[in-house]
Amino acid sequence: MGLFDRLKQGLFKTKKSLIENVERLVSGRTVDDSLLDEFEELLIMADVGPQAAESITQSLKAKVREQKIRNEKDLKAAFKEEVKKILIAGHKVMCAGEKPYVILTVGVNGAGKTTTIGKLARRFTDHGFTVTLAAGDTFRAAAIEQLEIWADRAGAQIVKHRSGADPAAVAFDAVASAKSKNIDVVIIDTAGRLHTKTNLMEELKKIKRVISKEKPSAPHEVLLVVDATSGQNAINQAKIFNEAVGVTGIALTKLDGTAKGGIILAINKELNIPVKLIGVGEAVEDLQDFDPDEFVEALFGQ
């Protein structure tokens, strides 16, 4: 199965929730403001988010008034274009420029952070890059063990301290080690216990400060890993992490297990942060670069 087919399969539930419900709503009906008000409610229920839903609907209403939309076929085509307009194309998560290229990964526990790091590490090593993983989630011993397994699978090195150690010290040592060994990429895991929000955010700020002392241009990417099944909670998480450490991109996991893939639109519209990676299955190759055009074609296609 090719990557595009994997994407289509991964978006199956979102397509049913969003596109097929829209088709049922508009089937055989006159396209007018009343219909588009119902359309807006449907978008919100599909986790597109109120801002994106309103923006799309207002634009469609204007096109109806201008007689650019006359029937349901026109409406679907216009809806597709509005979705494309909202989606942000971010730069890929790739090893570029100076070495080591440092990726700081953040996100709440259970979002799939460690798995995403492992898959990303494997992608880099498959392309011939050397990788060091930093076991910065020292709060959970299981997190360190899980990262060790992924390091072994990916053929990456790992820097770890004992459970309960200072995460910033782990990050510092990983970057320093990578510099001395001329390693291409460093990916740093971090804790995600959001119920102790203030402590966690201060810890993440410290990690970022310490990294930049060892390498002033780092981190080159602050990647927030978000579980798509969390819906609107993903927006709240993104706001909190962005305020603390300045998120540069989002990895949206578990899209294959949810009908809430519309959350990509909400993230782009409300936060203006690009979704850079999407998880559409369990396999390593199911962590894909987010391509807005491919996403739209997979969502709206047959």
Tell whether 109 and 80 lie within a shared domain.
no
pLDDT of residue 86: 94
Tell whether 105 and 7 lie within a shared domain.
no
Structure tokens at 72: 């349901």
For residue range 89-115, list pLDDT tens digits in order. 788 888 777 899 999 999 998 899 999
Question: What's this model's pTM, rounded to 2 decimal places?
Answer: 0.92
Tell whether 255 and 115 lie within a shared domain.
yes
Domain count, the chain: 2
Structure tokens at 17: 């929730």
Tell whether 66 and 108 lie within a shared domain.
no
State the CATH number of the domain containing residue 146: 3.40.50.300
131 domain-assigned:
yes
Which of 51, 86, 121 is a domain's end point? 86
* Residue 194 scores a pLDDT above 80: no
Closest CA to 282 of 111, 123, 115, 120: 115
Tell whether 10 and 58 lie within a shared domain.
yes
pLDDT of residue 195: 64
Tell whether 210 and 267 lie within a shared domain.
yes
pLDDT of residue 261: 84
Tell whether 33 and 170 lie within a shared domain.
no
Q: Which residue type occupies 48?
A: V
Tell whether 257 and 166 lie within a shared domain.
yes
pLDDT of residue 278: 93
* Residue 3 scores a pLDDT above 90: no
**Cβ neighbours of residue 111 under 8 Å, at least 6 residues apart?**
192, 225, 226, 227, 230, 253
Domain interval for residue 134: 101-300
Tell whether 71 and 107 lie within a shared domain.
no
135 domain-assigned:
yes
* Residue 169 scores a pLDDT above 90: yes
